[in-house]
Each structure stands twice: as structure tokens, then as C-alpha cells.
Amino acid sequence: MKILKININNIQSLKGVQPEINFTDGILAHAGLYAITGQTGAGKSTILDAITLALYGKTNRHGNDKPSDEIITRNQKEAYSEVTFEVNDVIYIAKWNAAFTRTGTLRSDIRQLYKIDGDDFILLADKIKDVDQKIEEIIGLKYEQFTKSILLAQNNFSAFLKAKPDERAEMLSKITGTQIYEEVSKKIFEKTKALENEINALRASMNGNILNREQLEVIKCSITEKENTAKKLDDDLKTLMAEISWLDAIETVGNEIEKHKLEIQKIAEHFEQNATNYLKLANYNKARLIETDLQSFQNDQLNINKNTADTETAKTEIKTLSDQLSVTEPKLETAIANLKASQNELTLKKPLIESAKLTHSAIIANTDILTKSKLELVKVTESSALNNKNLSKENQRKEILKNKNSEHEQLITQYIKYESWTAEKGAITLKYNEIVDLQNGIDTLKIEQLENQIKAFDTENISIQNLVSKLKAECDSLNSQLEAIENQKKESPTPEELTIAKEDSRTAIEQWNKLNGFISELEKESKSSQKFKAESEIARSQKETLEKLVSEKGELLQTLEENKTLKLLVASLEEHRHNLKDGEACALCGSTEHPYTLNLPQELSDQDDPKTESLRKEINELGLQKENTIKIISALEQQILTNEDNRVKLEKEIATLQTILQIEKQPTAEFIDSNIDKARQSLDSIEEKIKNLSDLNKLAESQTKLHSAKKEALNKIELLYRDYQTALDQIQNKNLSIGGNFDFIKEKFQLYGFQLENNTLETVSAIGKQLTTHSNKLNEEKSNLKNAQDTLVAIGTTLTTLETQKTGFASQILKLDNEIRLLIENIKVSDEKLKEQTATFELKSPQEEESRLHKKVGFEQELVNQLNKENGTISSTLKLQNELLEKRITEKVDFDKKLNASKINMETKLNENNFESVLALQEALNLDNSTGLTLQKQKFNDLKQQTEGALNASTAKLDILKENPLTELTKAELIPAKDELEKNSKTIHQEIGQLKEQIDSNKKIEQENQQIVDTIKTKSIVYDKWDLLNKTVGSSDGKAFKKFAQDFTLSLLIQYANKHLETMFNRYELFKDDNSEEMELQIKDNSFYGEIRNINSLSGGETFLVSLSLALGLSDLASKNTKIRSLFIDEGFGSLDPENLNNALDTLEMLQQTDDRQIGIISHIDELKKRITTQIQVKKYTSEFSTIEIVD
């Protein structure tokens, strides 16, 4: 990956659009080694920030913690950064943009990535997430890897080599990013511990309140007994309920009979009360038969009357129309004469009107031009006056500014000595901030708090060393106890094994009990089957006997019925109706309902043959016996089949259990009971082992918690003591650095005549503010002087412009005056001409006169048209009325003939139906609610028939109920017995439900325990994997794995560094001292026969080369397979003497040439600026803003 171009606008101190940094063209294209120079705080590192912003949306020094509004240059609205880079010969452009909206809020950042294909720019991504993904995919590096690869950490490694042994591990972690391994180790330890606690909690949660086999058997027997009792109670209750229902039915039927008798009486009263109305209804029905004849007679009378009235109306209408026609004809003649006169007047005046219209239009046009000219004259006059006023003001301003310039020049001379303060302020601010950081660092160490924490642990006042020894001894003792407990647990079966064994024992007991029950049930089913088969044979024999008897008696009954039928057929119709019975078909009509037989006399019933009735009863009884026998046979056969099915199922169940229990011969009851006892003894033994293992787990958990607490306290004490010693050393070093910084500041203040009386930050800040005020005053006066000079030039230009405008305004005013006078004269001449042209007009305006004449002609024409139309309408209507009158006279003759015929027919119909007159007929037809009376009469006839039938049916039903009595007790005597039975049944059913609920609850507990066992198995598989990982790399503090990762990383880093060290300086070789636990580095000097010596024995220049090789090694390690061809080295050259500086630069140039890399050195060292002439200079042009300049 190689950076080709960088474009920056308003990034931090780099205000405005900066010159493009182009590594493909110009000065930088031919300079592999270049310097980025500038004052401290000018913005050199901002160039690196711009690169990471464009690529990753983060700044190099702040990551993504710094918001965009702090990245944008102060008081600017927008910022952007663009980086053009090359990967595998493909060129890309990454863009970052941030801006404020018009309301001052910060807009979301815009990120874009383009691929350049010839002259085309192909958008690859424009969403932040997509851009990040594409950048990592193309470059092959994440943000952290990129910063380590492109920005060489030479200065950090230099500090690493010089650091104390106990500080190196932490520094290496920060440089290489191996802190993550400490967190990984802790997380593995915590995850393993959490899984172990979950498994222990699951084991402790298993429910031990399970019913044993004997308890379950007792409950099941109790349920069976109570179910038998409940069945007997339910049967008794059904019998009792049937008896109560029988009594209720007798009472209900009796009430129905009384109700029907009362309804029959009410129906008879109704017919008596409505006899008059029903007579009127009969007359109405007769009148309806001749109602059509009456309507025909009345229609003929109406036609005659209508014809007479229409004839008179037509005669009157003819006379009226004739009178109207004699009036309208003279009016039409007058209107035609007026129309011709108006048309002649319009023709004569038309030419004069057109001429006047042209004159009137000319007057209007000249008047509009005159108005506009007057307005233009007023506007030009006002502009001329304003121009003269501005001319006077600008002359006054010119004199005032000349006086102010003299004042600004005097103040600049007074404050010129503070001009260099802006350049020195950055260095003093840096020292000031270092003092603040050092003092904050001392406060952060909290030495007093550490002392108090150490004293808090040493409650017995035995010293820290003795307390540590004591805690270690206690931890060792607890470890021994835990190991003993774990050994006991290893010797015992696991909880899962015991649970499985327990379930196996329970299953075996259940299976042996099932086998015993199945054998007993099989014996019962065999005995029942034999019994049912014998009863079935007896029932079949009875069925055959009954069928034979029914057949013989049926033949005899048929003979008797045939004789009776012959007698009945010769009986009269009235006699035959007496013999009809409900449900039997009538011989004449086939109906099974016979309403007239409700009050059947007993004459024919007494003549029935007693022998026939006796035979029928015998046949019916035999038929019932036969049906019962068939039902019994069917039930027995069904029971036999059920028994056979049950026997087959039981034999299969027994065979299955024998296979499961591995029994070859038919087991005896003694053999089964013996095996059940063995299984119960095994179950008791397993439950005892589970209890013992649970106790061991609880003891182990308690001891583990105690051991963890002791170990944690020991670690805290050791860390506290180590932190306390480190803090004391750091405080001493920081105080020395603070003194040196105050001395530097004091020397700088003396250059400007200020003395630092005491070493306090408040004094430094106060003096700095005074110097800044003076410096700002100088800059302000310089700016004011420049602004005033620029303003004078502008005023001169303005005065010239105003003089020119003054002359122009005078010329415009003269021209407008002449135009106005000419227009007034033209308007006056046109007015005189218009008056002459309109002298003969009734209206003065030619347009109005023309409109008046057109309206007059139109009105006269409309009147003529209207009168023509009225005459035509009257004539047509008069003709139509004459024709209508002739038609009415002809129709009257036909209507008279029809009326005479209708009258004769009407008199005949009245006589036939006994009506005295037409009036009597109309009275008969005028019956209100005739339909209602008809329906009412029909309703009561139907109701009478239905009620009589219902009364007979209820009487017969009562007789049947009394023939088959179910009890001799009353309902009042039966109710208490019913309530008692219901209460007892409810109680025993509740008891059965409670017992079944106990069995269900026990089954649920067993299922829950099995689920816990399954969960423990699943979690144990996961735990075993995590436990293995924990034993390998896990720990509570994470230090072991972190130390391993650091050692491994350092070894890789040394391998990469040695390759670069061999290229740059083929004398030394780095390697790690494996005998040291403090990451001690050693150097092998090949020029002195491979002498091994400490890294601290190297000179300053040699140390620089070693640290540079380590930095390059880290870059290679971070970038892995991605080759980074653009590198930056930020500082690190200030500690080198001239000779070592030259050696370092020679090395970098050689690296650039051999490895084809662009290397940028960020520094403010003057000697480096002289050596590297190709520079990107960051120059301050105000106290807070800078710009970029590329020089060679």
C-alpha cells in the first residue's frame, strides 16, 4: 500500500484549502526521504490525522473519541480530507467530510471510497460501515494495524529499551497491543467458574420429595376402592333421579289436562261472542262475488260525466285563443318597423365611431407615457440628491482615516518587542502542560490512600511481610483440604451416573410390578372368557325357541285379522270412521290422523275379538323376549372378543417385560417378589450415595469460597505494596522534571522583561496572559493599520465613481423635462379632435355609443322573434282544440250505450244475491278488517281441533305413566335422599382427584429431576472443554497468559527486527534473555567475536538504530502480508548528537533505497532540516492557524 496524494481543508490548525501533497509528481515524487517540519503545535501531526480520517474516519492521536466539531478548524463551517492511494497497481480515493448546518448543528460525517479506472471514478461505498469494510478488505489492515504499520514507534521502543525492568512488560503491552490476552485469560477463568457454579446449583436444585413404590401402591389401591364406591353411589343416584322424574311427569301431565279443558271452554265462549261479526263476514263474502260488476257500472257513469266536462272545457279554450290572436298581430307589425329604423341608424354612424376610437386610443397611450416620464424624473432627481450626499460623506471619511493611521503606527512602534511571543508561546505552553500532567500524575498516584489501604489489611499490626506469609500458609492448607475432597469425589460415582442408576432401579421395580399385574389380569381374562362363552350358548338356544313360538302365533293372528277385515269392508262409511285409530292408515284415504275419532263411541270397540288381542299381546311379549335375548347374545360375543383382545395384549406385554428383564421361563409370584426386594434395596443404596455426594459438593463449595477470599486478599496486598513502592519512585522523578520545566519558563520570561518570582502555575499563567495581551494588541494594531490603508484606497475609487454619476444625473433630468413638454402638447390637440368627432353621439365615448346602438338593434330583433313565436303557438293550439271538440262529441254516443247495458246487468245481480239496492251492496262490502275476521275464525277453528286432540293425548299419556309406577314414595320424601347421595358422590370424587393429583405431582417431580440430569450432562460437556482451556491459559488475574503472549510477541518482533538490523547495521543481533523474567533484551556484537552484552551498553546512535529496527519490525508484524510503502517517523531525533544523527539519516536513506519506501520524518530539529532539503513545511501565520508549503 502506497500513499499517492493528500488533500486537506480546515483540519484542526490547518485552516483553509491546503496545497496538495502529491507523491507522484513534482518535488516529492523524486524524494524518497523527506521531512515534515514546523514549530511545536503548528500541525505537523495533523497531516497523519488527515490520512487516518480519510481512510478510517478516526484521528491518529485520538482514535474515534474526538468529535468532528473539534476536528473542524475553529470558526469554519466545513472540513474535508482526501487520500489517493495505490494497492496492487489499483488506485483508490478515500474521502472524509464534516460540516455544520445553517442552524449550527453538526451534520453526520460523510465517508466515500472510489476506484479510479482510467478517467472514470467508480463509487465503491458511501456508507460509513461499508467504507470501513471495503478499506479493510482492500488494504488488508484494521485501523490499529494500520497506525502501527505506517507510523513507526521508534520513540516508544527507545523508551522501552531505557525503561526499568518492572515497567517493560506494561510498555510492551501498549506498543504491541497484547493487553487483550490478559482479558481473554480472565474471561476464560470467569466462564469456567460460572459453568461450574451452574452445574453445582443444578445438582442442589434436584427435588428429593419423591414417593416410593409402597406409597404409590397404597394410593392406587385407595383410588380403585373409592372409584368402586363412587360407581355404586352414581347408580343409586340415577335410580333416584328416575323416580323423581316420573313423579314430575305425572304432575306435569295433570296440569296439561286441566289447561286443555280450560282452553276448550274459552274457544266456545269466543264463537258465542262473535256471532254477529261472523254473519257480516258471510254477507261480505257474497258481495265480493259481484263487486266487479258494481265497479264496471260505476266506471261507465264516470266516463259519461267526464266526457260532458271535457266538451265544455274545449269550447271555452277555443274562444280564448281567438281573442288572443286578434291582439298580437298589430303588435308584430309595429315591432318590424322599429327594427328597420334602428338598423339604418347603426349603418350611418359606424364610420364616425371607428375614427373616434382611434383618436381616443392615441390620447390614452400619450397619457401613460407622460405618467412614466414624470415618475422617472422624480426618481432621477432623488438619486442625484443622494449621490451628492454620499460624495460629501466619503470626503469626510477620508480625512478621519488619515488621522487614525498615525495613531496605529505609534502603537505598533510601542508593542513591536512582543512580536516573537507567538513563536515562544508554544514551547512555554508545552512546558506548562507537562508541569500540569506531572502534578496530576502525582495526585493520581494517591500515595496516602495506598498507605491507608495497606494499614487496613494489617489489622494485627504484624507487618506486611508476615501477613503475606500467614495468608499463603492458610491458602496452602485450604488447597490440601480441597484436594482431599476432590479425591473423595473422584472415587465416588458421578451425580449423573448415580441419577441414571437410580432411574434404572425405579424402572426395574415398576417393570417387575407391571409383570406381576399383567400375569394376574391374564388369569382373570381367561376365566371371564370361558364363563361368557357358556352363557352365549345358552342364550342362542333360548333365541331359537322364541323364534319358533313367534312364527306359530303369527300365522294364527293373520287368519283372524283377514276375517275381521272382510266384515269391516261391508260396514257403512259412518261405522267405518268409528273404527279408525291414530297411527293406522285409513282404508279410504290412507291418512294416519283422524280428527273425528276423538269422541269415538264404544260400539265397535266392544265387538273386537278378545282372542285376537290376546294373540297380539303374546306375540309382542315373545318379540320383546327375543330382542332381549339377541341383545344379550351380542353383548356376550362383544365381551368374548374384548377378552380375547385383552389376552393378546397382556401376553405381548408379558413377553416384552420378560425380554427386558431377561427371564427365560414363566416367572412365579415368589420369583417376582424376590426381584422387587432386590431392586428396592439397590435404590435405597443409590439414594444414600447421592446424599453423601451432595454433602461433599456443599463442603467443597464452602471451602472454595473461603480459599478464593484468602487468595484475593493475598493478591490485593501484594499489588498494593508493589504499587506503593512504584508510586514513591515516580513522585521523586516527577518533582525533578517539574523543577526543570519552571527553570525553562523563567528564562523565556526574562527575554520580555518579566520575572518569575515563585514556581507556581498561577504566576506563569498570569505573566503568559499579559504577554499574550501585548502580542494580541500588536497584531490588532497591524491589522487595523492595514484595514485603514485598504479603506483609503477604496474611498478614492468611490469618490471617482460618485463624481461621474453626478454628471450623468444632470444630463438625464434635462432630457426628461423636454419629453414631458412635448407629450402635454400632443394630448391637448387629440382632445379637441375627439370632441368634434363625438358631437352627434348620445353617449360621448365612441365605444359606449357603438355598444348602445348594437343593444338597441338586438332588443328590437328579439321582440320581433318573440311576437312571431307567440302567434304561431296560438294558431297551433286553436286548431288542436277544434279537433278535440269533434272527438268528444263522437265518444258521448258510445258511452251512453255502455251505461244502459251495465245498468240492466247490475239490477239482475242484485236480485240474484238478495241485495235490495246498490247501496245495500256497498254497505256489505264496507266491512272493516274482513281479512282479520277471516283469519280469526280460521285460527279458532284450528285451535279447537288441536286442543281437543292434545287433551286426548295427555289423558292417554297419564294412563300409561300410572300403569308403570316407579315408586310409592312422594317427591318430598325422595329429595333429601337425593341430596345426601349427591353430597357423598361429590366428596368421594374430590378425594379421588386429590389422590390422582399426588400421583401426577410425583410424576412431574421425576420428570423435572430427569430434565435437570439431562441439563447437567449437556453443561458438563461444555464445562469439560472450558475447563481444559482454563487449565491451559486461564487464571483469575490473567497474568500468566499475558506473560506468555508478551514473550511470544517479543520473540516474533526480535526476528523481524534482526532482519532490518542486519540490513542497516550488520554488526549487532538482538535476542531475548530467556533466563530473565523481566523481558531483558541482550545484544550480540559480531565485531567482537559474538560478545554478549546488555542492551543498555549501546551508545545513543546505536540505541536509535536498534529501536528503529524494532519499530520497523513492529510495522512488518502489524501489516503481515500487506506491504506498506509509506512510512512516518514522529520525533525521536532530538537526543542524537550530530554524528549519530547523520548515521541515522544514512540508515534511513539506505532503507528507502533498498526497500523502495517513502519515509517521512516529522521533526523540528534544525540540523535535520539542513540535511533533508525536501520538506513539507507547516508554517504558522497566526497564533492558532497554519498552512502547508512544499519546498526543496
CA dist 1142 to 372, 466, 490, 1147, Å?
86, 57, 70, 9
For strand 21-22 and strand 1186-1191, is the pairing parallel, antiparallel, or unpaired? unpaired
Residue 574's pLDDT is 46
Distance CA 1057, CA 1068 (A): 11
Contact at 8 Å (CB) between 96 and 57?
yes
Distance CA 185, CA 808 (A): 91
The arithmetic mean of pLDDT across residues 937-948, rounded, is 84
For strand 110-117 and strand 33-38, is the pairing parallel, antiparallel, or unpaired? unpaired
Could you give phi then psi for residue 912, rounded to 5 degrees? -65, -35
Residue 588's pLDDT is 46
Distance CA 557, CA 540 (A): 26
Burial of 43 (0-12, 13-18, 19+ CB in 10 A): buried
**Which among 18, 55, 66 is positioned nearest to 38, based on CA atoms?**
18
DSSP 663: -
Distance CA 895, CA 2 (A): 124
Confidence band for 53, pLDDT divided at 50, 70 and 90: very high
Distance CA 155, CA 148 (A): 13
Confidence band for 72, pLDDT divided at 50, 70 and 90: very high
Is the confidence at residue 931, as pLDDT, over 60? yes
pLDDT in tens, 131-188: 999 999 998 888 887 887 787 756 666 666 666 655 666 666 766 667 788 888 888 9
Neighbour count for residue 486 (Cβ, 10 Å): 12
Contact at 8 Å (CB) between 654 and 515?
yes
pLDDT in tens, 843-883: 767 777 778 888 888 888 888 888 888 888 888 888 888 88
Q: When comparing pLDDT for 161 and 752, which is higher?
A: 752
**Which among 138, 156, 144 is positioned nearest to 83, based on CA atoms?**
138
Taken in order 1068, 1070, 1073, 1077, the sign of the CA dihedral is positive
Helix, strand, coil in percent for the chain, rounding step 5: 75, 10, 15
Distance CA 1055, CA 160 (A): 17
Confidence band for 128, pLDDT divided at 50, 70 and 90: very high
CA dist 387 to 395, 510, 553, 794, 1079, Å?
13, 121, 149, 17, 86
Residue 406's pLDDT is 79
Confidence band for 599, pLDDT divided at 50, 70 and 90: very low
Q: Which helix (H) or strand (E) holds 7?
A: strand 2-11
Residue 326's pLDDT is 79
Distance CA 1095, CA 1072 (A): 10
**Angle of helix 1100-1119 relative to helix 143-150, nearest 10 degrees?**
150
The arithmetic mean of pLDDT across residues 421-431, rounded, is 76
Residue 98's pLDDT is 93
The arithmetic mean of pLDDT across residues 724-729, rounded, is 73
Is the confidence at residue 575, as pLDDT, over 60? no
Q: Which of 263-272, 1043-1052, 1143-1152 has the lowest mean pLDDT?
A: 1143-1152
The arithmetic mean of pLDDT across residues 108-129, rounded, is 92
Distance CA 39, CA 903 (A): 140
Distance CA 995, CA 53 (A): 76
371-399 b/e with 16+ CB inside 10 Å = b? Answer: eebeebbeebeeebeebeeebeebeeeee
Burial of 967 (0-12, 13-18, 19+ CB in 10 A): middle
Q: Which of 315-324, 558-567, 618-627 has the lowest mean pLDDT?
A: 558-567
The grid cell for 687 is 439414594
Q: Which of 32-41, 603-612, 976-985 has the lowest mean pLDDT?
A: 603-612
The arithmetic mean of pLDDT across residues 894-923, rounded, is 81
Could you give phi then psi for residue 295, rounded to 5 degrees? -65, -35
The grid cell for 30 is 523524486
Distance CA 824, CA 165 (A): 110
CB proximity list for 867: less than 8 A, separation 6 or greater: 328, 331, 332, 335
**Which among 1104, 1150, 1164, 1144 is positioned nearest to 157, based on CA atoms?**
1104
Confidence band for 649, pLDDT divided at 50, 70 and 90: confident
Distance CA 592, CA 584 (A): 5
What size, in residues, is the chain? 1192
The arithmetic mean of pLDDT across residues 1004-1031, rounded, is 88
Contact at 8 Å (CB) between 180 and 142?
no
**Which among 1173, 837, 1158 is positioned nearest to 51, based on CA atoms?**
1158
pLDDT in tens, 1096-1151: 777 777 777 788 788 888 777 766 667 778 888 876 666 666 776 777 777 777 77
The arithmetic mean of pLDDT across residues 644-652, rounded, is 79
The arithmetic mean of pLDDT across residues 237-253, rounded, is 84
Distance CA 889, CA 869 (A): 31
Burial of 168 (0-12, 13-18, 19+ CB in 10 A): buried
**Based on C-alpha coordinates, what's the Rg of the chain?**
65
pLDDT in tens, 1078-1096: 667 788 877 766 778 777 7
Q: What are the helix and strand counts (H, E) for the chain?
A: 26, 16
The arithmetic mean of pLDDT across residues 81-87, rounded, is 94
Q: Which of 263-272, 689-698, 903-912 has the lowest mean pLDDT?
A: 689-698
For strand 21-22 and strand 1081-1085, is the pairing parallel, antiparallel, or unpaired? unpaired
Is the confidence at residue 79, as pLDDT, over 90? yes
Strand residue runs (E) in 67-215: 78-87, 90-99, 110-117, 120-125, 151-152
- Please work out, in degrees rounded to the nearest 5, the angle formed at the alpha carbon of residue 967 by the alpha carbons of 624 and 242: 70
Is the confidence at residue 127, as pLDDT, over 90? yes
CA dist 618 to 544, 560, 563, 621, Å?
17, 15, 20, 5
Burial of 405 (0-12, 13-18, 19+ CB in 10 A): middle
Confidence band for 96, pLDDT divided at 50, 70 and 90: very high
Contact at 8 Å (CB) between 1057 and 1042?
no
Residue 507's pLDDT is 82
Burial of 72 (0-12, 13-18, 19+ CB in 10 A): buried
Confidence band for 572, pLDDT divided at 50, 70 and 90: very low
CB proximity list for 720: less than 8 A, separation 6 or greater: 450, 453, 454, 457
Confidence band for 82, pLDDT divided at 50, 70 and 90: very high
The arithmetic mean of pLDDT across residues 945-954, rounded, is 84
CA dist 1152 to 31, 105, 585, 1054, 1057, Å?
10, 46, 128, 21, 16
**Angle of helix 165-176 relative to helix 1039-1064, nearest 10 degrees?**
80
The arithmetic mean of pLDDT across residues 334-343, rounded, is 81
Is the confidence at residue 250, as pLDDT, over 90? no
Distance CA 1062, CA 713 (A): 49
Confidence band for 111, pLDDT divided at 50, 70 and 90: very high
The grid cell for 638 is 362383544
Confidence band for 573, pLDDT divided at 50, 70 and 90: very low
In 1034-1161, which ranges are continuous DSSP H helix?
1039-1064, 1100-1119, 1138-1155
Confidence band for 1075, pLDDT divided at 50, 70 and 90: low
Residue 595's pLDDT is 54
Neighbour count for residue 596 (Cβ, 10 Å): 11
CB proximity list for 524: less than 8 A, separation 6 or greater: none
Distance CA 884, CA 762 (A): 130
Is the confidence at residue 816, as pLDDT, over 70? yes
Is the confidence at residue 561, as pLDDT, over 70? no
Neighbour count for residue 709 (Cβ, 10 Å): 11
CA dihedral angle for residue 1024, residue 1028, residue 1029, residue 1032, rounded to 10 degrees:
170
Q: When comparing pLDDT for 105 and 606, which is higher?
A: 105
Residue 116's pLDDT is 94
pTM: 0.37
Mean pLDDT score across all residues of the chain: 79
Residue 1144's pLDDT is 73
Tell me the β-bridge partners of 496: none
Residue 245's pLDDT is 84
Phi-psi sector, 1090: left (phi>0), alpha (psi -120 to 50), beta: left
Residue 579's pLDDT is 59
Q: Which helix (H) or strand (E) holds 1095?
A: none
Distance CA 776, CA 782 (A): 10
Helix (H, G, I), strand (E, B) or coil at 104: coil
pLDDT in tens, 951-968: 888 888 788 777 778 788
